[in-house]
Amino acid sequence: MKASVAKLLVFAFAAALLFAGGKSALADPIIVKFSHVVSPDAPKGKAALLFKQLAEKYTNGKVTVEFALRKDQENGNKGGPRGRIGRSFMKASVAKLLVFAFAAALLFAGGKSAVADPIIVKFSHVVSPDAPKGKAALLFKQLAEKYTNGKVTVEVYPNSSLYKDKEELEALQLGSVQLLAPSISKFGPLGVKEFDVFDLPFLMTDDSHARQMMASPMIGELNKKLEDKGVEPLAYWDNGAHVYTANVPLIVPDDFRGLKMRIQGSKVLDAVARQLGAIPQIIAFGELYQSLQTGVVDGEDNVPSNIWTQKFYDVQKYLTVSYHGRLTYSLITNKKFWDGLPADVRPGLDRAVKESTQFFNETAAKDNADALVQIKATGRVQMHVLTETEKQAWVTKLMAVHKEMQGRFGKDFIERVYKESGFVPPQS
């Protein structure tokens, strides 16, 4: 015991010397700020991301690679990571390190380590920071760090900058990322196909139906299935109803005939596109703008706030306010990670989840209404709100999908969804 205390003091002293010489011995990760001016999807962007993953993997976390968000600031910084971070840090840390080493030695003698590194929570998502989910993720960060007194640090990665749609679910199950808020239409790869049922056309176009459904006992049962896959659903975030965009007017169902339409991964959305005579194509959200711009697809459906913040109105000429489907997110974490959190950290995180969920549901409703006005004001798209008669033609056309899905989910299951959501199928 005595020997190891002495060893530790020597080590600390050596580390301080090393640090004074510009290197750090004790294991705060070396922050490597990687700045570039291209989009994450460009070759350099992708290579930079790969570099990040490999560097963090091959240095066993001793290095953290961060991407600069704003082009102007970082490039002007001649000092690089050491320039801006290292300089102010250097002096203060030498003294801190000695005190730390001494305290650690004492505690080591007592068999415990004193200064716990914060728990890092990586929150990855695919939308922009100013979309409702982007804002709620940043609020969650603030609240989580505040309510845990800094015992948790949340790193938010927007715009698919860390993982794209499909990758993020795999990364969560592997524990490489701790928080996501994907659309439940993308849960198919998790092996819980029942979540696709919420894409049945016109099932939850009414806000109260949607909230009723997402608070129902049925969701509790589906949550259990997610937990069995190692995924813990913490909350549901309602991002409102979908509208369609394309480069041709979409007024009657036949207007979709032959169009290549982008869909999220759900089998029900696939059936909806086929029922309209369109060709469904699954494309990651992060690649959608480019796919619309280059004509890989002719159109897509989304909530107005995504169309606004991703500037899809720049590459689409028409928008139909159809409210035919809904975008519901599930705030999910890795079950093992969450269950393993220290008891003094969990209440703060639970509170942050609750408050950012409330914030999200309020913000999304307002942002989606504002976005329709903002998109219209650009004069870039022709907007059409379906009349009641036009909507009935869509409902009639798309009820066939409800029928078709009885084969996939079972008639009883679908009738239960109707009951719990309050949806009344039109009399045929």
With binding defined as CB under 6 A, does residue 160 bind ligand LMR?
no
With binding defined as CB under 6 A, does residue 126 bind ligand LMR?
yes
Least Å distance, CB 188 to ligand LMR, is 13
With binding defined as CB under 6 A, does residue 291 bind ligand LMR?
no
348-407 residues near ligand LMR, rule: CB under 6 A: none
| Comparison of 24 and 306: residue with beta carbon closer to ligand LMR | 306
What φ, ψ does residue 300 adopt, rounded to 5°? -165, 170
Beta pairing class for 299-302 and 260-263: parallel
**Bridge partners for 300 per DSSP:** 245, 262
Q: Answer yes or no: are the C-beta atoms of 335 and 401 closer than 8 Å.
A: no
| Comparison of 127 and 231: residue with beta carbon closer to ligand LMR | 127
With binding defined as CB under 6 A, does residue 183 bind ligand LMR?
yes
Least Å distance, CB 411 to ligand LMR, is 29
Q: How far apart are CA 148 and CA 153, in angstroms?
A: 9
Name the residue with the smallest CB distance to ligand LMR.
183
**CA dihedral angle for residue 49, residue 55, residue 57, residue 61, rounded to 10 degrees:** -110
| Comparison of 256 and 285: residue with beta carbon closer to ligand LMR | 285
Least Å distance, CB 137 to ligand LMR, is 11
Q: Answer yes or no: are the C-beta atoms of 384 and 251 closer than 8 Å.
A: yes
Least Å distance, CB 127 to ligand LMR, is 5
Least Å distance, CB 387 to ligand LMR, is 26
Least Å distance, CB 26 to ligand LMR, is 39
With binding defined as CB under 6 A, does residue 306 bind ligand LMR?
yes
Beta pairing class for 119-124 and 63-67: unpaired
DSSP 53-85: HHHHHHTTTSEEEEE-S-HHHHHT-TTHHIIII
| Comparison of 93 and 160: residue with beta carbon closer to ligand LMR | 160
Q: How far apart are CA 116 and CA 352, in angstroms?
A: 21
Report the residue from 15, 127, 200, 231 that binds ligand LMR according to the rule CB under 6 A.
127
Q: How far apart are CA 179 and CA 65, in angstroms?
A: 19
| Comparison of 102 and 359: residue with beta carbon closer to ligand LMR | 359
How many other CB atoms are found less than 10 A from the CB of residue 230? 15
Q: Answer yes or no: are the C-beta atoms of 363 and 294 closer than 8 Å.
A: no
Q: Answer yes or no: are the C-beta atoms of 356 and 237 closer than 8 Å.
A: no
Q: Answer yes or no: are the C-beta atoms of 298 and 260 closer than 8 Å.
A: yes
Q: How far is CA 425 from the centre of its chain?
A: 33
| Comparison of 306 and 421: residue with beta carbon closer to ligand LMR | 306
Least Å distance, CB 284 to ligand LMR, is 8
Tokens 């009641």 sit at which residue?
388
| Comparison of 132 and 348: residue with beta carbon closer to ligand LMR | 132
**Number of residues binding to ligand LMR, judged by CB under 6 A:** 8
With binding defined as CB under 6 A, does residue 409 bind ligand LMR?
no
Least Å distance, CB 273 to ligand LMR, is 14
Question: Helix, strand, coil % (nearest 5) of the chain?
Answer: 55, 15, 30
Least Å distance, CB 264 to ligand LMR, is 5
With binding defined as CB under 6 A, does residue 322 bind ligand LMR?
no
Least Å distance, CB 142 to ligand LMR, is 21
Q: Answer yes or no: are the C-beta atoms of 129 and 141 closer than 8 Å.
A: no
- Token pair, residue 267, equals 């089998």
Report the residue from 302, 320, 356, 421 that binds ligand LMR according to the rule CB under 6 A.
302
With binding defined as CB under 6 A, does residue 264 bind ligand LMR?
yes
With binding defined as CB under 6 A, does residue 285 bind ligand LMR?
yes
What φ, ψ does residue 187 adopt, rounded to 5°? -85, -10
> Which residues sit at the interface with ligand LMR, rule CB under 6 A?
126-127, 183, 264, 285, 302, 306, 327
